Amino acid sequence: MKILITGGAGFIGSHVIRLFINKYPNYEIVNLDKLTYAGNLENLTDIENASNYKFVKGDIVDKDFVFDLFKQEQFDGVIHLAAESHVDRSISNPTEFIMTNIVGTVNLLNAAREEWKDNMENKIFYHVSTDEVYGSLGDEGFFLEDTPYDPRSPYSASKASSDHLVRAYHHTFKMPVKLSNCSNNYGANQFPEKLLPLMINNIKHSKALPVYGKGDNIRDWLWVNDHARAIDVIYHEGKIGETYNIGGHNEWKNIDLIHLLCNVMDKKLGRPKGESAKLITFVTDRAGHDMRYAIDATKIKNELDWEPSITFEQGLEKTVDWYLENESWLNNITSGDYKTYYVNQYEN
């Protein structure tokens, strides 16, 4: 089996690549990534020489490139993770999100449809999405697979559009699709614009910890390794045409999470308890900031026997340990030095 994994040099994608490379040695895994600011091949140094792995630099927005790649490689399956994913960036530059998340997804769908038109049996197009497409919850309730879409940011609107297109291709063209919507991921190798690696890095260097509004916004947190396991089980055992919500059963107010992180970091760094919490600084809230996300992951548990393997507290400890033990990775990312080799070698 030959599988295309898009966005495989990114945070979630690199963990999926690693899992599939190691677990399925008889599969051929092709990693397609544009290597934007968040794509980093340094995430995959441990498997980059594996016999069943191949990296291709390219942009899913480039239709001709995508069609040529599908024709050349003859993929049996696609796991589509490539996306612009940072809400703040989508507010400042919506067009880039529309191009990558919508047009790029359509290019992949059309290329797969063209190559699979004579035989869609045993083919899979798996589209990975976000819980942000559902909008914002009140104090109670959870997002279900049939919760109506209500995206509130350019990012979530672009992902909602791509979700609808994937389902439309299934119903119109009989494309064999699967979808999943996940909650906030955390763990190793995450680009430090995201909350936890940003805060870990700032605490380490005694910099301010910016918290939107009053920090009352609530998120459900999913350890990235558990997400990769869920993608594996959905790809292999999920039903064609179905959607699966993936959640960590870990709801945290942002401010409570930051205080927990501060306590963990104080302990790890040998600082007095409460020292890092002094760095918390409240800043103007994000435009259109959704108040609460929470996933009901009952379906994937009941149908595919998946559930989170660790608690948030356990996952946070592992995450902090990884960033403290991989200081060179974090320094390379924050300085941009990783581009010297891992990006520039593919520019010409």
pTM above 0.85, yes or no: yes
259: helix, coil or strand? helix
68 included as an active-site residue: no
251 in Cβ contact with 180 (< 8 Å): no
Q: Where are the beta strands (DSSP E) in the chain?
A: 2-6, 28-33, 53-57, 77-80, 124-130, 177-182, 184-186, 209-212, 218-223, 243-246, 251-253, 280-283
Q: Is the pLDDT of residue 4 over 70?
A: yes
Collect all residues with Cβ–Cβ distance below 8 Å to 284 and sequence separation of at least 6: 212, 213
132 included as an active-site residue: yes
> What's the pLDDT tens digit per position in 271-300?
999 999 999 999 987 777 778 888 999 999
User: Is residue 346 very low, low, confident or very high in pLDDT (cuts 50, 70, 90)?
Assistant: very low
2 closest CA partner among 31, 27, 32, 33: 27
The catalytic position among 59, 131, 145, 251 is: 131
The catalytic position among 59, 84, 115, 132 is: 132
Name the fold adopted by 2-187+222-250+293-310+338-346: Rossmann fold (3.40.50)
Collect all residues with Cβ–Cβ distance below 8 Å to 275 and sequence separation of at least 6: 262, 266
Tell me the residue length of the chain.
348
> What's the pLDDT tens digit per position in 190-227?
988 788 999 999 999 999 999 999 999 898 999 999 99
Q: How many helices (H) and strands (E) does the chain have?
A: 13, 12
155 included as an active-site residue: yes
DSSP state letter for 249: S
> What's the pLDDT tens digit per position in 233-274?
999 999 999 999 999 888 899 999 999 999 999 999 999 999
Q: Given this model, what pLDDT does residue 196 score?
A: 93
DSSP string, 176-240: -EEEEEE-EEESTT--TTSHHHHHHHHHHTT--EEEETTS--EEEEEEHHHHHHHHHHHHHHSPT
User: Is residue 336 very low, low, confident or very high in pLDDT (cuts 50, 70, 90)?
Assistant: low
Q: Given this model, what pLDDT does residue 37 score?
A: 79
Q: Is 35 exposed, middle or buried (0-12, 13-18, 19+ CB in 10 A)?
A: buried
Q: Is the pLDDT of residue 337 over 70?
A: no
Report how far Cα 153 is from the mean position of its chain's Cα atoms. 17
| Structure tokens, 267 | 């302990």
User: Is residue 163 very low, low, confident or very high in pLDDT (cuts 50, 70, 90)?
Assistant: very high
31 in Cβ contact with 19 (< 8 Å): no
Distance CA(39)–CA(98), nearest Å, equals 18
Calculate what percentage of the chain has a pLDDT beyond 90. 79
The catalytic position among 155, 169, 186, 338 is: 155
